[in-house]
A and B are shown apart, each in its own frame.
Chain A
Amino acid sequence: MATYDKLFETLGLTDWCDVNKSGGPMSMADLLKQAKGEDASVDDTSFWETPFPSLDELNSACPAIPKSRDFTDIVENSFLSIKDPLKAVLDPITQPLSWALDGSLWLFEATPWFVLIPLLLLAVFYATRSFGLVLFVGITFLIMAVIDHYVPAIQTLSIIFVCTGFSVILGVPIGILMSRSNTLQKVMIPILDMLQTLPTFVYLIPLIFLFSVTESKLYGIAIILYAVVPVVRLTDLGIRLVDKEVLEAAHAFGMTDRQKLFKVQIPLALPNIMAGVNQTIMMSLAMVVIASLVSAPGLGVLVLRGIRNLELGVGLVAGFGIVMLAVLLDRVTKKALARVNAAQKQ
């Protein structure tokens, strides 16, 4: 006897309810009650314990009403039904991502350490012109290498480089389009909000269904979806903040839309775009650990091993390594950003 039996009786719907009655499998709750020797048909709930008329509750009174489980089944089935066409479209589009990730991983691992580290230091110097930062990066890599974390560290770095690159290639044009159309901005902002707040594991669920776990684009897509948001937002913001009078001057001297974009809007929005890139790098670093659940190599794998096998030391050291990488990437991009800012402060 369920709480809402009376309701259906008064409404005279008992016949309708019982039409499709079939002896389906017993629910766990029923089984437990049976095991305890209680009579499942006695209504023992007092008025104060009246349950919310949810689908499950109504179903127990009237089997014609679907259970909540059916609702999640609908979501699952509809995803599965579009899975194949979706895969047919997405697979070729995203293939370059797999190539880029695999290629970059191969390149980073194949380059001997005594070549790669100086190259990285040179890049840091070129971007920041700061000997202090070059020293800091050098020491960080030295520590990583001494404790045998060099390979996972550069794997992580390689994944971040590729994913940040793709995020910029995708995010900047989207941001530019958003800055030009208020409608597009209104549509995009909720999508960006969702991408940013969706729990990071949730990205992985549909992706696992779409792609094989062995494909590197699986984690690549998850990282990019999560990390592209700040660069889109800040490109949009940066272009919208460009001084109106400077834009008027561009108009008054007869610039084409293209000239306006490349000679005025993007250069003037550059500090904001760079701030977006900095955030994108930080977010892909956060995601790279979670992505190790789906076969992303790097420091995340060690963290995961620490959790799975309760290897406290391994997990903590790898986690600390990620922090070092984060600090390093943040300082280098911030310094580069400061250089851009200094060149065009008003």
Chain B
Amino acid sequence: MMTKDPMISIRKLYKVFGPTPSEMMQHVLHGLGKEELLDQHGHVLGLQDINVDMQEGETTVVMGLSGSGKSTLIRHVNRLIDPTAGEVLIQGENILDANADALRGIRRTQMSMVFQHFALLPHKTVLDNVALAPIVRGDAPETYKKDALHWLERVGLSGYEAHYPHQLSGGMQQRVGIARALTSNAPIMLMDEAFSALDPLIRTDMQDLLLELQKELHKTIVFISHDLDEALKLADHLVILKDGKVVQQDEPQRILLQPEDDYIVDFIADINRARVLKVRSIMEPIKLDSFVGQVDQEDTLEDVIAMTGGDTSGTYQVLSNGQPVGQLDLKTLMRALVRTQASASKRVI
């Protein structure tokens, strides 16, 4: 998994808000915490010591409650916010070294962004909004029009190109926002709470749309969310932020099974584990010769329980693309459904 270089790599990133942030860095490096810094110096420690690698073609979800610094973090990736210290590497190049022109170039070709409240231009038609990136680049209309219409169709909005944003519903406006990001053809897509302002049903639709698009496009997606269900659904790599610090980052399945911190335990307490956990996360190496049945490694535990009809005994063979890769004892499955405690060493008492 670590064979290729990460697409986006964030190294030792700190952000201090206040009148003299660089002077405050000294205090922070000497171990002053968020609250002490606010009390003693009146500065807000937005992010501290963030180290995250985001792999090409993967969806990295940054999750945290409000005030955890997740929106601040995503704005460092395209430098809408400059860090106080640290590096942000895009394909190995530190974008903090880029001058204004180079930075504009990166924003125009390397990354696109989807916003929580859509941020469409109200005085432009849907088509002109979708084609924002090529228009900003200065392309001629005939070169981008086809592309823009194609993406508009992919998000299910063909026929709306001449409408204005205010004539569309919230969900449709965000589809325009996604089409706008896709039309830029940039490999990186930043999504800042992109679905948080939508109704639950529409939100699920949009998540499915994103998963479907991602299956064929393989963009590097950075997705910000405060919703754990959404995070678990979309993430290849899940980063959990609290008070500007990374609490745990890993594959979502592993976070569920091995939470490192009581904060995470509380966080995942209300999750329907059967629906989220997959067979591959809890299977064991093949030891037996005969099995009562077969399951796919991408099946959720809920699928397996449904298949067994409630029978909690027996061992199943786990297949991946038709090849056996492991076995699943239903007792293991039952144990996995119980809430996990934080590993003893990391528990806060």
Query: Which residues of chain A have a CB within 8 Å of any CB of chain B?
Result: 243, 245-246, 248-249, 251-256, 259, 263-264, 267-268, 270, 343-346
CA distance A310 to B78 in the complex (A): 72
Whether A246 contacts B166 by the Cβ 8 Å rule is no
The SS class assigned to the B binding surface is mixed
The SS class assigned to the A binding surface is helix
CA distance A313 to B190 in the complex (A): 71
Whether B108 contacts A254 by the Cβ 8 Å rule is yes
Q: Which residue of A lies closest to B122 (CB)?
A: A344
Which among B78, B123, B133 has the highest number of chain A CB atoms within 10 Å? B123
Q: A251-B107, A254-B107 are in contact. Are A267 and B136 (CB under 8 A)?
A: no
- B 254-288 to A, binary, CB cutoff 8 A, 1 in contact else 0: 00000000000000000000000000000000000
Query: Which residues of chain B have a CB within 8 Å of any CB of chain A?
Result: 78, 80, 104-108, 111-113, 115-117, 119-123, 132-133, 136-137, 164-166, 184, 190
13 residue pairs A–B, Cβ–Cβ below 8 Å:
A245-B115, A245-B116, A246-B119, A248-B113, A248-B115, A251-B107, A252-B80, A254-B106, A267-B123, A344-B123, A344-B164, A345-B122, A346-B165
Whether B107 contacts A343 by the Cβ 8 Å rule is no
Chain B contacts for A245, CB-based, 8 A: 115-117, 119
Whether A252 contacts B107 by the Cβ 8 Å rule is yes
Q: Tell me the number of A-to-B contacts counted with CB atoms below 8 Å.
A: 65
Q: A245-B115, A248-B80, A254-B136 are in contact. Are A268 and B166 (CB under 8 A)?
A: no
Chain A contacts for B107, CB-based, 8 A: 251-254
Whether B164 contacts A252 by the Cβ 8 Å rule is no
Whether B113 contacts A253 by the Cβ 8 Å rule is yes
CA distance A40 to B137 in the complex (A): 87
Q: Which residue of B lies closest to A256 (CB)?
A: B104
Q: A253-B108, A344-B122 are in contact. Are A259 and B80 (CB under 8 A)?
A: no
CA distance A276 to B205 in the complex (A): 44
Whether A343 contacts B123 by the Cβ 8 Å rule is yes
Q: A259-B136, A343-B164 are in contact. Are A253 and B123 (CB under 8 A)?
A: no
CA distance A345 to B120 in the complex (A): 12
Whether A253 contacts B122 by the Cβ 8 Å rule is no
Whole-angstrom distance between the Cβ of B335 and the nearest chain A Cβ: 46
Whether B104 contacts A254 by the Cβ 8 Å rule is yes
Q: Which residue of A lies closest to B116 (CB)?
A: A245
